[in-house]
Amino acid sequence: MNSFRPDFSLHLAAPEAVRPQREVRCAVRFPLSLPLVLTSAQKEVAGLTRNISSSGVLFALGRRLRKGSDIRFALRMPRAVLGTPRDVLVQCAGRVVRCSMSQNQYLAAATIDEYRFVKR
């Protein structure tokens, strides 16, 4: 009889044992530093992208964003990266999944729930 065997095993440990968390990513991330202005709760925040995937983005910002906040932002994707004749403007909507301080800036990770390409 064949039984389902997952590719991981479950290990029960004493409460005091500490195990590193394994990060699970759904999409490949590309290290792109693009300037942007995002809007959250009627506030505009300038920043830079640190990396981008098809489902999310990591921002470097000058202020904290609240986890769960809805955000809107636009990215101008460089033609050299995309292999297109022109830069492509992408308008995105998503939500903040985490925000933490790193050195002198905030790093906010957000999902990209909706996007649309803007024709110019």
pLDDT tens digits in sequence order for the chain, 120 residues long = 444 444 433 333 444 444 444 444 567 888 999 999 999 987 999 999 999 988 899 999 999 999 999 999 999 988 988 889 999 999 999 999 999 999 899 999 999 999 999 976
Number of other residues whose CB lies within 10 A of the CB of residue 26: 9
Phi and psi for 78 in degrees, rounded to 5? -65, 140
Cβ 82 vs Cβ 88: under 8 Å = yes
Superfamily covering domain 35-118: predicted glycosyltransferase like domains (2.40.10.220)
The Cα 43–Cα 104 span in angstroms is 21
**0.85 cut: is pTM over it?**
no
Q: What is the pLDDT of residue 2?
A: 44
Which two three-digit tokens encode residue 81? Answer: 């990266």
Q: What is the pLDDT of residue 7?
A: 40
